[in-house]
Amino acid sequence: MSPLQPSSLVLRYALIALVLAAVTGAFARVAGWIHWPGSEPTLTPARMIDAFENSMGLHAGFRRNHAKGVCVSGYFDSNGSAAALSRASVFERGRTPVIGRFSAPGGDPSQDDAEASVRSFALLFSVRNGEQWRTAMNSVPIFAVATPQALYEQLVALRPDARTGRPDPAKLNAFLAKHPETMAFRQWIDTHPPSSAFYNASYFSIDAFRFADANGNTRFVRWSVVPDTPYAPSNDRTNPARDPDFLAHDLSLRLQAGTVSWRLMLTPADPGDPVDDATRAWPPARELHRVDAGKIVIERAESQIDGGCRDINFDPLILPHGITPSDDPLLAARSAAYAVSFDRRTREEAGVGTHRR
């Protein structure tokens, strides 16, 4: 990868900074973590969240990433078709309540929605047998980097310089040169303008998971939720009279007129498809065999200050029987860092009286 030219540096590092939060809404479960190759000192969930705070700023009582969001609730209406892939009871024919959260990337809960190039959608399925399925999805089908160490390095490269208040272009160029795998993500962002609303965007699991059917047969699967509302690109970046909170306000207005919905689509992998590298897309032909599992319907929206999603940690490793993680290292990493973020914001509320988000 050739170094970026000075004329394009500002646009490039601004783009990466804006979308980083959405593509890095992920990290790990192991409490003490492990020593990732090449990291000194040991990379832990706490150090990862420290890096988020150093890059995005600290806003006490809020999530360290996706700080700005809105709670939603509704249901998943399964049509039974996905039972051929997984014995998880959530895929049996019938209705499952869901609590969710739409969000924009970044650590600042007051940022302008027009600054976000990515939308995110998290869901908790309350399954009939008492199990839960939690998932955190982004409107980009791939991740920028493949490992926790690379994400940490990206956050360090994005840390604002004390003199300029902006990331150092030399550090960004060095990071991009070291990690050419980020090119696929950057190209996707360049060619896919952000949606004009939360409810007309598609959202993707990004990571692969292992599905097991009633006979013990397994397949690796990625999933997406595809909106029934047609996609439209956002034009609010160039509108001087724009509402800085248009995503949440527009969602509330839309729900006054009726529900919004998506199809939950399950895409099985073929042998040889990458199932442990979130930076690599599967061949488009895989979508020809995806399974329509049913409809996700959102009925209500609430403030994140006191809504149903406020105290939920959308840990992607809370899974029902019939779904297990792949060996993608980002899945272990997502879970642990989410836990650290949750612990910090709830302790801050107890100490300084801020609201949990």
Domain spans of the chain?
6-352
- Residue 217 per-residue DSSP state: -
Q: How confident is the model at residue 165 (pLDDT cuts 50, 70, 90)?
A: confident
Of 66, 179, 192, 321, which one is the catalytic site residue?
66
Check pLDDT > 70 for residue 4: no
pLDDT band at 238 (very low <50, low <70, confident <90, very high): low
Total residue length of the chain: 357
Q: What is the pLDDT of residue 105?
A: 84
What's the pLDDT at 185?
96
Provide the 8-state DSSP code for 345: H
For the segment 301-316, the average pLDDT, to the nearest whole number, is 94
Number of H helices, E strands in the chain: 7, 10
Beta bridge partners of 135: 123
- Known catalytic residue at 66: yes
Q: Is the pLDDT of residue 353 over 60?
A: no
6-23 helix and 169-178 helix, angle to the nearest 10 degrees? 70
* Residue-wise pLDDT tens digits, 215-229: 999 999 999 999 999
Model pLDDT, residue 8: 42
pLDDT at 252: 97
pLDDT at 41 over 70: no
Side-chain-facing half-sphere of 78: CA atoms under 13 Å: 22
CATH of domain 6-352: 2.40.180.10
